[in-house]
Amino acid sequence: MITHPRTEELVESVRLWIDEIRPTLDPRNAFLARVAANALATVHRELTHGPDAEADAVRLVSGLLDREGGHAELNSELCDRIRSGDFTVETPGLLAALAVMARNQLAIDQPNYKPEGSL
């Protein structure tokens, strides 16, 4: 059976290659290579961690809204409810759900960021 590299494997391979050749580049291109490698690292994390983060968000927001739905639809309704004042800091579970979703997104976007009070 022929297998093909998965998308996340291809992205990681290109990122590693860029990191390997970066020291041989002039300063400007080395900087641009670093930017490209960092972008590919973010894409890799989105591919590998994004589905679980989205599933968590759907589960949490479904519980808050007391209904099922897709990620975009549920997120849109949650934002509408917060904007309208239907959901506030007093809404049971809202802050905890938002904190989980924010941590999940930070793990993808800025994995080295450690919020106050974290280990």
- Residue range 80-102, pLDDT digits in tens: 999 999 999 999 999 999 999 99
Q: Does any domain span residue 39?
A: yes
Task: Write out the two tokens for 108.
Answer: 């993808």
**Residues 18, 40 contacting (CB under 8 angstroms):** yes
Whole-model pTM: value is: 0.80
Q: Does any domain span residue 119?
A: no
Domain extent, residue 72, equals: 7-109
Q: Does any domain span residue 53?
A: yes
- Around Cβ 56, how many Cβ atoms within 10 Å? 15
Q: Does any domain span residue 116?
A: no
Report pLDDT digits (tens) over 1-57. 778 899 999 999 999 999 999 999 999 999 999 999 999 999 999 999 999 999 999
pLDDT attached to residue 119: 56
pLDDT attached to residue 118: 61
Q: How far apart are CA 76 and CA 87, in angstroms?
A: 13
Q: Does any domain span residue 81?
A: yes
Looking at the structure of the chain, the number of domains it has is 1
